[in-house]
Structure 1
């Protein structure tokens, strides 16, 4: 990774490469690792402006947290691409935090192509463990919070009811419960944005398998793969290491057999109350593999459409732990 903008320039640029882990089918980079590139560009932006995330935590007790990440993928990235990330400051909105626009470009046949357009919101979370070495600079005070999240209404758990059954009942939804491991967390114990990106990726995989149209099934039988043009995740509260996260994936719409959009909602159970910790949406299409480098979008067939809309024999609101 190399940086190329002076700290005095409000706009920063950095050159990045996708991680090899994100090249799962042929050489294309999945949406999670595209978002990882956006994250890295945001952290580099902080460094170039004199606020390295490590120093902010060690000196001032401030953790750098992405609390909203909204990413549109315009062109597929490949494993050997060198991506130029440009980060600009955006006007503030309700909820506070530092808002940044991130653009990823890549070279294609001698031309610069815009591959990704993203918006990110950053907050500085005051850490309760220990004491800061020094008081943070005044310009950071407005970004600092004692707890992450925009907040959302809690859901009382009905006595004797399984949380997933309650959260998915009567909906075209799939539920999944999983204990949050330490490697989904940062700053000692809080689930971080990349942890929720992993949750979003996995709940999609589990949902499709549950509906009989697993990624492997469509790959083997039709050479089809899912592609993601848009994803967004917003933190609503803090989920902690080793808490059980109840993730609900609800299909909201199918657009002309071309794409479908689903909502992801994550909760933790505390004192008999389900507390929303994150919400997000992801849009999927499907593409047929033409060769080892190229693919093209396809219309959904009846099997896939019926699975997505809940007409394939699966009871609506089915959940699993």
Structure 2
């Protein structure tokens, strides 16, 4: 038994980590507010710092032990908006009782407003250590064995389409730009009878890590992208509501769970299904991700997002607004000008 590794695992599972972090400038798309994707990036950075502080940085895990650090479940609630230049105090607390062979963590982000520290974000995170199979295997310490897995997934149940036989069409050539949202036999099956939007897209190199697989930040990009495409398809694009009403999208809750692995240059089918419009203030939607292998659908991830709108009054202040009939009709896919 390695004393150093044993102590590092003990720190990982028993000690809190506190670190100050700032959101990335890239995430400020509307005025100075930071979008949900980059708020989740701050959570990810806090998790990586927790591993570093324990003595198990992601680089060491991979280079010395052949273990790739993968966030496989990210469940985040945003309680107060983040802005450019905010300095967040992140607190990472291990959740050992429900780890189930993974490293389970609770992350809380605090920001200061008018001299008062506010709890801005709470997040539940699960991490798997994926044994690398792209390069020749190396032996990893026994203390890490309980977290090592030969393949991501298997901890959550896939949906009813998982394993269904399908026929693919060659519709994601490099010339197709953002991918396919129109006629496609697989998308037609996945969308039939649902208030849903589908997108077929080739997984690119920048969305992957550890040589081949789509990483959590890539899935977060996919969620953000499919929402953008869905709203445009329903006639209420983000730019349209910005120009007409100064409405901005807000996301108080998001979750992504990895069910299997999606690989670089595979075609990824992303299905965005509106589940409920709640009291005209928010709507919830499910996002499911699939690839096709050997003629059958494989569900690689699933997630949910809660979405609403706020109107900005000036460059720093906004307030939530309720949906009108036009927006509700578009979200529900009702016929007429709103949903056409």
- Alignment TM-score, normalising by the size of structure 1: 0.92
* 1:155 is the counterpart of 2:164: yes
1:278 matched to 2:287:
no
* Counterpart residue number, 1:137: 141
The residue correspondences of 1:28-177 to structure 2 (distance < 5 A) are: 28-93=33-98, 95-132=100-137, 135-150=139-154, 152=158, 153-157=162-166, 162-177=185-200
The structure-2 alpha-carbon separation of the partners of 1:94 and 1:169, relative to structure 1 and needing over 3 Å to count, comes to: farther
What is the CA–CA distance in structure 2 between the aligned matches of 1:52 and 1:207, rounded to whole Å?
38
SS for the counterpart of 1:155 is coil
Partner of 2:174: none
Partners of 1:74 and 1:275 in 2: how far apart? 34
Deviations 1:135-171 (A, max 9, x none): 3232211111000012524222169871100000110
Question: In the aligned structure 1, how far is the partner of 2:337 from the partner of 2:152?
Answer: 37
In 2: Cα distance, 1:233 partner to 1:217 partner: 28
Quick check: 171-180 or 7-16, which moved more?
7-16
Distance 1:302 1:124 in 2: 47
State the secondary structure of the residue aligned to 1:136. Answer: coil
Bigger share in strand: 1
- Contact 1:211–1:314 (CA under 8 A) maintained in structure 2: no
Match of 2:320 among 294, 297, 301: 297
Out of 17, 20, 24, which is 1:19 matched to? 24
Pair 1:33–1:159, CA change in 2 (3 A): closer
Of 196, 202, 227 in structure 2, the residue corresponding to residue 204 of structure 1 is: 227
Contact kept in structure 1, 2:257 and 2:302, CA below 8 Å: yes
Structural RMSD (CA): 1.9
Shift of 1:313: 3.8
Any runs of at least 4 consecutive aligned residues in structure 1 with deviations exceeding 4 A, and if so which? 158-161
Structure with greater helix share of residues: 2
Q: Which moved more, 1:12-21 or 1:161-170?
A: 161-170
Maintained 8 Å contact 1:12/1:88: yes
Match of 2:332 among 306, 309, 314: 309
Partner of 2:286: 263
Partner of 1:4: none
In the TM superposition, 1:206-245 aligns within 5 A as 206-245=229-268
Match of 1:3 in 2: none
Cα deviation for residue 315 of structure 1 reads 12
Question: Measured at CA, do residues 101 and 94 of structure 1 come closer, stay the same or move farther in structure 2, by a change above 3 Å?
Answer: closer
Q: Per-residue displacement from partner, 1:73-119 (whole Å, max 9, x unpaired)?
A: 00000011011110001134375311100000011111111000000
Distance in 1, matches of 2:213 and 2:72, equals 12
- Report the alpha carbon displacement of residue 129 of structure 1 after superposing the two structures with TM: 2.7
Q: Equivalents in 2 of 1:76, 1:103: separation in Å?
A: 14
Gaps of 5+ in 2: 1-10, 170-183
For residue 291 of structure 1, report the CA deviation from its aligned partner.
Answer: 0.7
Decide whether aligned partners of structure 1 residues 274 and 314 sit closer, same or farther in structure 2, where only a CA change above 3 A counts: farther
For normalisation by structure 2, the TM-score amounts to 0.87
Task: Judge conservation of contact 1:62–1:125 (CA < 8 Å) in 2.
Answer: yes
Question: Unpaired segments of 5 or more residues in structure 1?
Answer: 1-6
Kindly state the Cα deviation for residue 252 of structure 1 after the two structures are TM-superposed: 0.2
The farther-off stretch of 159-168 and 247-256 is: 159-168
Report how many aligned residue pairs link the two structures.
310
